[in-house]
Amino acid sequence: MAEGKKKDGGALLAKKKKVKPRKSRDADCCSVNFLKCVLHIFNVVFLFAGIGVLAVGAWTVASRHRYVALLPTPTYAAIAYLLVIAGALGVPLSALGCCGLKTENRTSLLCYTYFLLITFILELGAGGLAYYYEVAVEDELKAELNNTFLSNYALDTTITNAVDRMQAEFKCCGAVRFEDWRRSAWHEHDPRMLVPDSCCKTVTIRCGARDHPSNIHYTGCIRYFINHIRDHLIILAAVGVGMSVIPIFGFLFACVLYAKIKHVID
């Protein structure tokens, strides 16, 4: 009987040793209360960062997309919309994080970490894509822009408006040179017009019928356009890659808090 009691006592002692004691929420250097405080501060930073990313993306869509119809691929537009989506996640995600921290609900915290990871991927993807496209856009435009001018002007309203706006803003004429307009479908339709009116130094109706240097701009638009797009892509790349660092910190702290909440006592 004594031996049986000893065995039972030993088994109970072994079980007690295996059970990990639950810790106080202020135990260890990275306590639950400390992590909650850090994540509350992070939520404020993340909210303002999201508003900034959203503002850059919306500004790109609203004011810098006037020439997007002239680009051969939709990459530039995709970068802007990725930033808009990533920035728009800032407000609801900050609210979700605050609710999860207040209630210490592990499901809310888990969703919060997943969406932080998605935000990181969106911002890093937009920044990386902008960096890649900044290098590739010059060759792309050199290969396609002149053909876009000559084949679609006056046939596609969106492209026509973009070309006229570009020639007026950059004070240029034609993609490469002003003489290219004589090979366009638009010129064949009205041979008396040598260049579009938007090429003129002073724009008036049918002023493009005379291509004297005193009347029109002789410089092609392609170099101005390439520099314009590349400069803005550098901004988008910096915003995307730079801001993608922020959600990573929140993701790591939220993961640690998620694991710690399970093992603490009130």
The pTM is what?
Answer: 0.79
Residue 10: is its pLDDT beyond 60?
no
Residue 266: is its pLDDT beyond 70?
no
| Average pLDDT, integer, range 148-170 | 92
| Average pLDDT, integer, range 214-225 | 92
Answer yes or no: are the C-beta atoms of 196 and 161 closer than 8 Å: no
- pLDDT tens digits along 114-124: 999 999 999 99
Q: Helix/strand/coil (H, E, C) string of the chain?
A: CHHHHHHHHHHHHHHHHHCCCCEECCCCCCCHHHHHHHHHHHHHHHHHHHHHHHHHHHHHHHHCHHHHHHCCCCHHHHHHHHHHHHHHCHHHHHHHHHHHHHHCCHHHHHHHHHHHHHHHHHHHHHHHHHHHHHHHHHHHHHHHHHHHHHHHCCCCHHHHHHHHHHHHHHCCCCCCEHHHHHHCHHHHHCCCCCCCHHHECCCCCCHHHCCCCCCECCECCHHHHHHHHHHHHHHHHHHHHHHHHHHHHHHHHHHHHHHHHCCEEC
| Average pLDDT, integer, range 205-230 | 91
Average pLDDT, the chain: 85
Dist. CA 255–CA 109, nearest whole Å: 8
pLDDT at residue 222, rounded to an integer: 93
Residue 26: is its pLDDT beyond 70?
no
The whole-angstrom distance between residue 4's C-alpha and the CA centroid of its chain comes to 70
| Average pLDDT, integer, range 208-229 | 91
Residue 3 CB neighbours (<10 A): 7
Residue 33: is its pLDDT beyond 60?
yes
Beta bridge partners of 216: 200
Residue 30 — very low, low, confident or very high, per pLDDT cuts 50/70/90? low
Closest listed residue to residue 165, CA positions, set 35, 238, 16, 65: 65
- pLDDT tens digits along 87-145: 999 888 888 888 888 887 888 888 899 999 999 999 999 999 999 999 899 999 998 99
